[in-house]
Amino acid sequence: MQRPAPSIWLWALGYFACYAPYSALTKALSSQSGEQPALDGVALLPLSTLASLAGMAVFMVATGWWRAASRRTVLGVSVPCPSRWTLLSGLATAAIIGTTTLAYTFRDTSIVFMMLLMRGGVLILAPLVDALAGRHIRWSSWVALGLSIAAVAAATLRREAFWVSAAALADAAVYLASYFVRLRFMSRLAKGEPGANRRYFVEEQLVAAPAIFVTLALIALVGPAELAAPVRQGFFGLTPGQATLTLAVGLLSQGTGVFGALILLDARESSFCVPVNRASSILAGVLATVALGAFGLDARLGAGELLGAGLVLAAIGVLALPRRPPRAGSSTPGAATLRR
């Protein structure tokens, strides 16, 4: 008898447990503390990506999940290989990983504000992705959408000084565009076909961290000086203490990637899974900000940001209302439409 799949709420707990220290450490490393200078956000990426890559490899081997990937024969050897679609999804995931780490390094911009901007944006995308995939969108999803828009507005319009750098806005835009691509591929490739979730997860992970690491290495070697300098610092110029904490950031980032993907790959529609994912990170961000505030490393939570976080949690409450069972004969739209 096949064991039931773990609850989505167990994945949400793991996501929260990784995300709180991940966001706190990232913000702390990019903030000045006493005589310790702040690190450029880009300088955090090389070692954190290397740690994510190592963490992914250990996880795949320890669980045996690497066997779920599609395979191709290269020089007479059968090797795991993504499809063209999971390759594209993995590249989108790589962009999400990089922009998430950078999001918490912008000065004068709090963790919770960036979270509401980016997480609220993905909440808004979820019903659109479901509509494009032909999935039924419940009334509660539309209510949650309205609450999410209100949350983003509360976090922005109530700020004492509304100022967000162009770099922070560009970071959020790339993040949201990448999530749209990723959710679209998830809706078509997984979330319904038996065995598809693990294959999708493994093939996406085979692409994401390696893609970031190769990109950073190329930037360090041949990139423009203003961008290559902090990347080279990240590879070779960190103190032992900074390097240790940055490696921890990378391992925690990989943990959020594992648990976050398992939440999103739940068979239910994106309008349900995305808010569960987003709520976990919002709560983690609030905890991280409070912890950093106790050490004077981050600004206190503003009233608008607290209100925004509360509205996101209200959206989760609406989405968690009991659901009617699906009608007999109903089915999930074709997850098998896209193939190699």
* Residue 247: pLDDT band with limits 50, 70, 90: very high
The one-letter amino acid at 29:
L
Q: What is the pLDDT of residues 46-80, one digit of tens each?
A: 999 999 999 999 999 998 988 888 888 888 888 88
* Residue 333: pLDDT band with limits 50, 70, 90: very low
The one-letter amino acid at 168:
A
The answer as to whether 195 is a domain residue is yes
Q: Give the total number of structural domains in the chain.
A: 1
Is residue 48 a contact partner of residue 213, using CB atoms and an 8 Å limit?
no
Q: How many C-beta atoms surround the C-beta of residue 324 within 10 A?
A: 6
CA atoms of 317 and 322, how far apart (whole Å): 10
Lowest-pLDDT range of 63-77, 125-139, 310-324: 310-324
Handedness of CA 192, 195, 201, 207 (dihedral sign): negative
CA angle 32, 166, 92 (to 5 degrees): 95
The answer as to whether 204 is a domain residue is yes
Does residue 160 carry a pLDDT above 90?
A: no
**Across 38-42, 76-80, 206-210, 321-325, which has the greatest mean pLDDT?**
206-210
The answer as to whether 174 is a domain residue is yes
Whole-number percent of the chain with pLDDT over 70: 82
Q: What is the mean pLDDT of residues 264-280?
A: 82
Average pLDDT, whole number, for the chain? Answer: 81
The answer as to whether 36 is a domain residue is no
The answer as to whether 127 is a domain residue is yes
The answer as to whether 78 is a domain residue is yes
pLDDT: which is higher, 176 or 134: 176
Enter the tokens of residue 102: 């950078």
CA atoms of 138 and 321, how far apart (whole Å): 11
Least Cα distance to 15 among 278, 326, 195 occurs for 278
Q: What is the pLDDT of residues 274-309, one digit of tens each?
A: 888 877 887 888 888 888 877 766 556 667 777 877
Domain carrying residue 209: 8-30+41-319
User: Would you say the pTM of this structure is higher than 0.85?
Assistant: no
Burial of 153 by CB count in 10 Å (0-12 exposed, 13-18 middle, 19+ buried)?
middle
The answer as to whether 338 is a domain residue is no
